[in-house]
Amino acid sequence: MKIKKGDTVKVITGSNRGTIGEVKAVFPKESKVLVEGVNVAKKHLKPTQANPDGGIVEKTLPVHVSNVMLYDAKAKKASRIRYEIKGDKKVRVFTKTGAVVK
């Protein structure tokens, strides 16, 4: 998977299309990523001893990795990425601009 925790991504499909956010977690076995502020659902909690009032909590749910693209902040565009060998390191590079992903 080419997207890693801490990357900035742009949602390209779905109800949150166009939203830019940071990746908080990556689930490679399921091919999903958790993006801050995207795919937020409300969960109703029953009253328990730990939480006697219960209530409604907003929870961020994972998004499939095919629905997001890495976002280049300098070019202000979403772009695919490729791998290049720079010196003795393998780095991720934006295909549109050729800039190295930070």
Read off φ and ψ for residue 65, nearest 5 degrees: -65, -25
Q: pTM of the prediction?
A: 0.85
Q: What whole-number distance in Å separates Cα of residue 63 and Cα of residue 77? A: 20
pLDDT digits (tens, 9 = 90+) for 34-92: 999 999 999 999 999 999 999 999 999 999 999 999 999 999 999 999 999 999 999 99
Please choose, from the candidates 80, 78, 77, 74, the residue with its C-alpha nearest in 3D space to the C-alpha of residue 95. Answer: 80
Please choose, from the candidates 85, 84, 86, 81, the residue with its C-alpha nearest in 3D space to the C-alpha of residue 96. Answer: 81
Tokens 């998004």 belong to which residue?
63
In CATH, the number for domain 8-73 is 2.30.30.30
